[in-house]
Structure 1
Amino acid sequence: MAEAAASVLLLRAGLALLAWPVYLLSFLGIWEPFCRKVFFPFILEKICGLHEKKSKKHKQELFRNLPDFRGPSGELRLLEIGTGSGANFQFYPPGCKVTCTDINPNFQEGLSRNMKKNQHLHYEQFLVAAGEDLRQVPSGSVDAVVCTLVLCSVHSVSSTLREVLRVLRPVCYPTWKLVFAGCCLTRELWKNLEEAKFSELKIQHISVALPWMPIEPHIVGFGVK
């Protein structure tokens, strides 16, 4: 125990020694402008390259159902909070209309490069804005909001999520439930089936598109007692 505690203290001392120039520059008011304009955009792009290799399969699975959230017009309007250099563009569906936001406007080089690589998207605007204050985005104007590697650095997670809820387009679920005899489109029925403890359960998520109907996602399968 004593040896482990000593090792931790040595590690902390070593990290503090390595970091002291940063603290000094911060004290002098030099570090933050340099970090925002040069260091952070550079290091984030390098980290994102490695991160994408490790997380690509997860992101493909996460974003594969984005087309299900298209509005009544058939278009998908997407807002990304903390776009950075645009590492997520490759995962968005063709024709998606993207509004980019970031509190740091210094990602131009990487952002322009990824926009050129992903010309299957329509880039509507880039807003310099914090996640907690998206006043430039009208209420109920987007179909989906994406934020990756962002909520760890916003000043207020709860305020950011309030803004997310504000800008998202209202859905017709209450009206649907009234018209269609109590049918609730937001139930995650596969979870109820899993909790029922069938001895064998096979479920597959499929899409059945019907004109002007928000009921494309379906589940099919069977359960054995």
Structure 2
Amino acid sequence: MHVRKEPSRPRQAERSAQSRNALLESAARGLSRYGYGNLVLAQVAADAGYTRGALYHQFKGKEELTLAALEWVLAAWEREVGVLVEREPEPVGALLAMARGHAVFCRRDLARMAIALRLEFGGRGDHPVGRAVEAAYALLVADCERRIEAGRASGAIPPGPPAQVLAVAFVGALEGAVVSLAGREPYDEVLAERAAAGVLGIDPTGERR
């Protein structure tokens, strides 16, 4: 008697993870290019090589897909940029590593998704995507603020505006630089570092101005 073998659960899980990652990457790219309001789910699915039905099998709709894509991009940032920051023992070195790493990370258009969403939602705390974007931004600013305070305590960063204000300016300068310099490798990395250093009041070698 021939017994039909069902696909193993590990293989099913692997295929499901592959399709999910492909859809998240496609969504992140679409959100970077077109924003949330203009994102077309059928196009996201097609660009990933799947049907719209396959997308709805993984995600309930645009909101859930966008929240998952944001989490996916932030996790990639931590793997690629966050690890560079944590390797630096000194606060200034960590902040400049963040600037360089972020510039390289944003050479892929999908990596600018968080910036695009933040601009689109503009602090709209009434929307789940807006809340998620603002929460991620607040964590980044808080991390920079902590490193700025440590740099000031060691004398590596000169006195000036409150650390929280300087952290907001640091993140803003970094975002502005990478968006303006998109496609201008390798100058994007060098100039992002200079812009970040300028806000901190130091030169890129870590010397006070």
TM-score w.r.t. length of structure 2: 0.31
Q: Which has the higher contact order (CA 8 A, sep 6+)?
A: 2
Q: Which has the higher strand share?
A: 1
Indicate the structure (1 or 2) with the bigger Cα radius of gyration: 1
